[in-house]
């Protein structure tokens, strides 16, 4: 989605790092923008399927960080035959205590150019969801493969066909 097409919500080059100074995002504006982004997600999915590619997106974060909300909004308009969600087991008590200490070290060793990590400011859940989806769309240079509208031939005239009664059917 180009910046010109995106004159609605996200207008910055890097939406994940940009903080918005707007007041609370209205539900109507949020739903309208989410619908536009979900249409783009379907186009992305169709392009990925058409090209035979595989895409992996990992959401990592603490409980109640908003991961589930973003995943739900990303996947709700996608085909379950193409898109899969895998939930990992809840962290153990030891893993919960170590998370903050290991996070920076893990980023240092696994954040590479081909597979970067992105940190999402999620103070506003709605803005974070929209920014995440927009950012995901901006990471893959997909093309719109929407097929042309199918033109149906004119409907045939009624020939007087009458369906036989159910009692005559076997």
Please name the residues in contact with 137: beta carbons below 8 A apart, sequence gap of 6 or more.
1, 37, 40, 41, 44
Tens of pLDDT, residues 29-87 = 999 999 999 999 999 999 999 999 999 998 887 777 788 899 999 999 999 999 999 98
Q: List, in sequence order, the alpha helices (H) in the chain.
A: 27-51, 67-75, 93-110, 125-139
pLDDT exceeds 60 at position 1: no
Q: 82 or 1: whose pLDDT is higher?
A: 82
121 vs 10, more confident: 121
Distance CA 79, CA 73 (A): 13
Query: Domains (ranges, CATH) in the chain?
Result: 27-149 (3.40.50.300)
The two three-digit tokens of residue 95, written as one number: 């893993």
């Amino acid at each position: 989605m180009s910046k010109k097409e995106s004159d609605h919500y996200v207008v910055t080059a890097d939406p994940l790092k940009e903080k918005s100074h707007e007041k609370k995002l209205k539900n109507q504006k949020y739903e309208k923008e989410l619908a536009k982004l979900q249409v783009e997600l379907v186009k992305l999915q169709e392009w990925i399927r058409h090209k035979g590619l595989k895409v992996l997106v990992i959401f990592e974060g603490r409980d109640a960080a908003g991961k589930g909300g973003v995943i739900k909004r990303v996947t709700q308009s996608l085909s379950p035959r193409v898109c899969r969600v895998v939930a990992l087991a809840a962290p153990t008590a030891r893993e919960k205590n170590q998370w903050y200490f290991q996070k920076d070290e893990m980023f240092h060793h696994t954040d590479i150019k081909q597979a970067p990590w992105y940190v999402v400011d999620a103070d506003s859940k709605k803005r974070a969801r929209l920014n995440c989806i927009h950012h995901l769309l901006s990471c893959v240079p997909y093309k719109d493969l929407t097929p042309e509208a199918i033109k149906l031939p004119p409907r045939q005239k009624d020939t007087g066909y009458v369906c036989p009664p159910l009692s005559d059917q076997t």
